[in-house]
Amino acid sequence: MGSARTCGRATAAGIALAAMLGWRNARAADDAPVPLIHYSNDALTVRLSGVQNSDILAELARQSGAEIRGQVREPREVTADFESVPLPEALARLLGEQNFALVYGKGGRLKAVRLLGGDQLGAPASPTITAPPAAPGAPFPGSLPELIDRHPPVPVTGQLADAFGIGDAPAAPRLEPPSW
């Protein structure tokens, strides 16, 4: 009988342990944050754990109406928690070392996110931003040749001057913009 009693106690302990572990796992699932991805005013708020970066981009595309162009270079699960971070910085956090470009359309609306192939010439990854266009009807400051003509000459110094062979000249010549 002692053996049956010991076996019964072991079985009861096993059932209690299994129930407790099941309860803990269920509670952990309840405590896990519901994934939140919110795009507003060219800023991103995220609260997520273990969500694929491609899924985050898909949700950004859905909310913003922007097109995602290119492929995620390193698909991975992302865990992040931040609020109202400007989109370029938020995507840099979420995509890691992958380069990207943001393309804006009329009225400053996000039009596309271009996922680029990776670091260029070993340079650190950084977002490239195409600035939103000026308000409709606002005149552009002029044509490119006019802008160049109005800009003062730029002094050439340092490595660039050395490359042109003008680094030790007493008065370094200034390169003038071309006249078109």
Which band of pLDDT confidence, cut at 50, 70 and 90, is reported for residue 165? confident
Domain boundaries, the chain: 36-129, 144-175
pLDDT value of residue 64: 94
3-state secondary structure 38-67: EEECCEEEEEEEEEEHHHHHHHHHHHHCCE
CA distance 99 to 116: 5
Identity at 139, one-letter amino acid code: P
CA torsion sign for 40, 44, 49, 50 is positive
CATH number attached to the domain at 36-129: 3.55.50
pLDDT, greater one: 97 or 19 = 97
pLDDT value of residue 154: 73
State both tokens at 42: 């060219």
For residues 45 and 36, is the Cβ–Cβ distance under 8 A? yes
pLDDT per residue over 69-128, tens digit each?
A: 999 988 999 999 999 999 999 999 999 888 999 999 888 899 999 998 754 444 444 444
Q: What is the pTM of this model?
A: 0.50
